[in-house]
Structure 1
Amino acid sequence: MAGAKASNKYAIALRRQKAGFAVIVLFSGLISILMLTGSIYMLQVYDRVLSSGSIITLVGLFSIVVVLYLFYGLFDLLRQRMLSRIGTRLEFDLGRDSFVAQLQACQSRENIKVDPLGQLSVLNQFLSGPSASSLFDVPFVPLFLGVLFIVHPVLGLIVVGGAMAAALSGVLAGVIARRWQDRRTQDATVQSEFSTEAMRNSETVLAMGMQGCLADHWRSMQIKNLGTQQRSARGTEILASFSKTFRVLLQSTILTVGAVLVLNDQITPGMIIASSVLSGRVLAPIDQAISQWRSIAKTLFAHRSLHDFFENTPDRESNIDLPKPAGRITVTSLTKFSDNAAHTQQELLLQSVSFNLEPGDGLGVIGKSASGKSVLARLLVGAWKPDRGEVQIDGAAFDKWPAGAIGRHIGYLPQSVILLPGTIGQNIARFDPLATDADIIAAAKLARVHDLILRLPNGYATMVGGRSGTPLSGGQIQRIGLARAVIFSPALVVLDEPNANLDGAGDDALERAISDLRAAGSTVIVMAHRPSAIAAVNKILVLDQGRMTRFDTKENVMGTANTPRATHVREQLSKQA
């Protein structure tokens, strides 16, 4: 959005967890130190207990080991719980912002391939699982290496070489996983979108016998997605198997070299077992990281996606909450191009539309099919952003309002009305918890749908939307959508072909609703589909192939006189009807 400053809320949320991550690093250090307990205990048993035959020494050593392992278990539990809490906190802190940001991205038709809610879930699941804990053990691998060098430098060098080989295989696994992760995610997104849309239009699909063809097309996408998945897994599986095999071989090598050192009286027999355990501790975090590379790569992709998504999401929270507008509309050089268009005249959806309306005005927008009426409607309410020009309400463009604040003062009835899963009352109230029963009933009465709702089994509590909602006719849905549009007495009401599914009684109700809205001071703009839709307006705007050809009072545009211009306009409206 022009002039909007991007604020990376994801980066801010991560910074808030710095103290928690610091404590987790501390716990990981303590856990790594306590992991030396087993090696030291074995060393003492072989070198002290077995040589002395002292049961008291063995019991004393074992008592110390029990206490140390209890602390080990406690710190490991605390670390895991903190990681889980951090993941949950991140998803909670960013969940609402992600939902709103995704809606805004869909509104501007940018970044819609990113699913911030899904990526937050991936991040939370990773932090709550065992993979994250193993990563925090990796920085403390030098601790075990240091102990091995103290036991004997040769043993330390052998394990260093093994650790370098394991780390190299881990890097290769990461490169392979990262190479395929983006492609796999894109393929999965395309497949998911196709299946979702097919299910949503299941009635049409089944009625026209399209299910077989759609299933075949979905299968082709599935084959492509599964192939990508297998290719991404092949390299990491080979490297993970190599790492495990190498780890076992290295421990045997340590035993062999240790035995040679014992025979040469350079270390004690207990040090052989301790060194073998320590070498396993050196390679274990690396081995676990390699085996979890697919999960790690997925999490890294989620991290980058969230960072980039919020980096490119404008923040308008700092704007001042302006007073309720009166409804003075100023449209200046409004221009919109098609999605993938170079800015050429052939690809223009709307070109340089300008007009002014005062509070209480009613504007009827007429024109042939594909003349730009619906495009203008979306631009007027901010559902789409113009490529040029702007829409002002009481002198303020949409980006001068805090995010979402202007929407309360706008009513919009699109061509295709969709009721969200919930009650009729919730849909009319726009799911606003501050909407009172009086607000909902007043809006329903203004839309002349109150009596219709009362005839339903549960009245305003009737569940609609989704698969489990009560089936409603197109006219009922459209009139409930009208009630949703007019709640809170909005300053601007835009109705896109509002009588497309209405009968004669519905047309009369719509005409009275428009008159009532204008009498209350609302500015009403109607995209005309039938002549009855503009019966209650006082101005007319004519569109032709995205261009405004005329804007004047209804009397001057349509007139009662049989002038060529007025006759042409009336004929066009009759053809649309």
Structure 2
Amino acid sequence: MLKSLLSDKPGARPLVEAIRACRWHLLAAAGFSALVNILYLAPTLYMMQVYDRVVPTGGIITLVLVTIVVFLALGTLAGLDVIRTRLLVRAGLRLDQQLAGRTLGRAMGSHETSARAGQVMREFDQVRSAIGGQGALAILDAPWTPIYLLFCFLLHPLLGLLTLVGALMLFGLAVLNERSTKSRLLKAHEASARAYAAQEQVSTRSEVVRALGMRRGLVARQLTARAEATGAQSEAQFTGGRYSGAIKFLRLMLQSLALGLGAYLAVQQQISAGAIIAASVLLSRAVQPIEQLVGAWPGLVQARAAWKSLTDLYEATGDQDEAHTLLPAPAGRLDLQEVSVRMSDGDTPQLKQVSFSLEPGQMLGVIGPSGSGKTTLARVVAGAYRPQLGAVRLDGSEYGQWDPERLARHIGYLPQDSVLFAGTVKDNISRFEGAADPAADQGAIDLRAVTAAKAAEVHDLIQSLPQGYDTPIGPGGRGLSAGQMQRVALARALYGSPRLLVLDEPNSHLDQDGETALMRALKRAAEAGAAIVIVAHRAGVLASADLLLVMNKGAVSRFGPRDQVLQALQGRGGPRIASVS
């Protein structure tokens, strides 16, 4: 069963290695389970001694001795049970140590957009919890059912036969339960993933929801999504509950039948009086793991589905662990060759065979109507999206040949919505470099952050904040105005003097002073040899552009020197842009 859960694809190798790292915990837990199940025989043997030896002979000393023995056995059993539970919890913690960081990295580094991306860690926690839960204990106890069955046969063949038939009937009910609830549980898991993803998206834009009066509508939409998830979950629980009730009834009936059959055999003098109680206890213990498995089955099925999601993620992002040759720092020559992009949730390509080149020190303006693919192009050039066809090269090396983290150091990206993250202003400008490497020279990081802020001409603005560079900001840049966020995001793009700058609507929230500062910063970056790609609607930011690229329906409509493209557009009634000087 475990083998079927482990993918043999190279990208999923970390999952296999993590399970192997936990194997000693799991093997030790299995060993302690063996001892626990052997000691579970102690009450049965005690009963037989009391009824067969103590009661007929009145042996008080024998009673005291066997009572002491059973107390020691049960105390040892309890201690071993605690140890095996702790071992399973430790296995879950070991799995967390091995995979939590990698899983977060894989999710953040994935080029695919998915409704499940936001709850990858929730699914990972489901897997970790299943390892230390009741389902894992039931799985460890299940192999010992044949041992209890053997003891039943040793008491009397008829008692063994009753236990065997009962165990088979319970197993059959467990199989029917699995078949009836599996699809429902998977449906509930997928519906919950969609509901949580939508909820997280709304939560991060709560101010928009309030301002536009969408609260009631979105609450209703969330309730509909939750109703779908809880409905599927309830349906699975109702179905599983019927089987759980049937299994409990059958187990209790089998215990009663074992007592009745034991009494009959005792009357016939085929077994002792002590064996009557022993038969009922052994039968109960033999079928208990099956009942436990049925009770824990929903959690195990959801954990298996979560593991499948993790496996898919690791298989799709296997290239993140590939070793890359350390390439020299680029000069900034950008080449796009027949690049095409189609989102996973759409049929129409967002980019169609886009090609152009940009030399170090050149500035390219990208214009076009809304929906023409400008933002998608910016994301591809910045390395945020991976094209399905074609190649993006920096100094002749395709992006895939670079280590992603090293490539990002040479690219400055300012997205359209100026995304900032919870932390300090300095943390955001420095791209959280200090958190990524605690051993790094924090003084050097501070210096680079201040240098980038000065290059973006935002140093004075930051100093005016309550705590300067150490001013904390909330998720999404909460605490800063839209213009302040955009200027801090520009400083982040300039951090480390990257050789390629990609700016998507960098002046959308800037006033005249901010736009003037932006243009000066871009001019200095170009003079320093950086290649610059700017997506813009407003003409002012294109005044210094050397080249213009016009997008239309995902394809390049025109590309060339700025003045030639503008003249051609004005002559043919192309996209209207205010005159640029």
Normalising by the smaller structure, the TM-score range is: over 0.9
How many Å separate the matches in 2 of 1:457 and 1:394?
42
- TM-score (ref. length: structure 2): 0.91
How many Å separate the matches in 1 of 2:206 and 2:498?
36
The letter for the 2-side match of 1:419 is L
- TM-score (ref. length: structure 1): 0.92
Does residue 13 of the first structure (1) align with residue 18 of the second (2)?
yes
Contact 1:181 1:301 in 2 (8 A): no
- Corresponding residue for 2:361? 360
Secondary structure at 2:90 match in 1: helix
- Superposed, 1:233-272 pairs within 5 Å as 233-272=237-276
- Superposed, 1:424-439 pairs within 5 Å as 424-433=425-434, 434=440, 436-439=445-448
How many Å separate the matches in 2 of 1:539 and 1:515?
14
The letter for the 1-side match of 2:361 is G
- Corresponding residue for 1:222? 226
Does residue 148 of the first structure (1) align with residue 152 of the second (2)?
yes
The letter for the 2-side match of 1:504 is Q
Does residue 386 of the first structure (1) align with residue 387 of the second (2)?
yes
Structure 1 pair 450/523, CA: closer, same or farther in 2 (3 Å)? same
- Corresponding residue for 1:136? 140
Secondary structure at 1:8 match in 2: helix
Number of corresponding residues: 564
Contact 2:368 2:575 in 1 (8 A): no
Q: Which of 471, 491, 494 is matched with 2:502 structurally? A: 494
- Corresponding residue for 1:442? 451
Q: CA deviation at 1:303?
A: 2.5
CA shift digits 1:57-98 (9 cap, x unpaired): 122212222222232122212211110011111122111111
How many Å separate the matches in 2 of 1:564 and 1:489?
35
Q: CA deviation at 1:23?
A: 1.7
Structure 1 pair 160/207, CA: closer, same or farther in 2 (3 Å)? same
Q: CA deviation at 1:360?
A: 2.0
Q: Which of 458, 467, 484 is matched with 1:458 structurally? A: 467
- Corresponding residue for 1:415? 416
Does residue 540 of the first structure (1) align with residue 548 of the second (2)?
yes
Structure 1 pair 268/338, CA: closer, same or farther in 2 (3 Å)? closer
The letter for the 2-side match of 1:133 is L
CA shift digits 1:22-41 (9 cap, x unpaired): 22211111111111111011
- Corresponding residue for 1:510? 518
Q: Which of 25, 32, 36 is matched with 2:30 structurally? A: 25
Structure 1 pair 46/395, CA: closer, same or farther in 2 (3 Å)? same
The letter for the 1-side match of 2:324 is N
How many Å separate the matches in 2 of 1:182 and 1:113?
17
Q: Which of 208, 220, 235 is matched with 1:231 structurally? A: 235
CA shift digits 1:159-216 (9 cap, x unpaired): 1111111111111222222120121122222222333333333333333332223223
How many Å separate the matches in 2 of 1:65 and 1:311?
52
Contact 2:186 2:301 in 1 (8 A): no
Secondary structure at 2:336 match in 1: strand
The letter for the 1-side match of 2:23 is K
- Corresponding residue for 2:437? none
Contact 2:330 2:394 in 1 (8 A): yes
Does residue 201 of the first structure (1) align with residue 202 of the second (2)?
no
Secondary structure at 1:295 match in 2: helix
- Corresponding residue for 2:407? 406
How many Å separate the matches in 2 of 1:118 and 1:208?
31
Contact 1:113 1:189 in 2 (8 A): no
Structure 1 pair 333/473, CA: closer, same or farther in 2 (3 Å)? same
Q: Which of 170, 179, 193 is matched with 2:174 structurally? A: 170
Q: CA deviation at 1:230?
A: 1.8
Q: Which of 84, 87, 94 is matched with 1:79 structurally? A: 84
Contact 1:11 1:307 in 2 (8 A): no
Secondary structure at 1:19 match in 2: helix
CA shift digits 1:535-569 (9 cap, x unpaired): 333233233333323333335445xxxx6667779
How many Å separate the matches in 2 of 1:363 and 1:564?
17
Contact 2:135 2:297 in 1 (8 A): no
The letter for the 1-side match of 2:39 is L
The letter for the 2-side match of 1:549 is S
Between 1:63-72 and 1:165-174, the stretch displaced more is 63-72
Does residue 329 of the first structure (1) align with residue 330 of the second (2)?
no
Contact 1:330 1:392 in 2 (8 A): yes
Q: CA deviation at 1:285?
A: 1.1
Contact 2:32 2:81 in 1 (8 A): yes
Q: Considering only aligned residues, what root-mean-square deviation do their CA atoms show, in Å?
A: 2.4
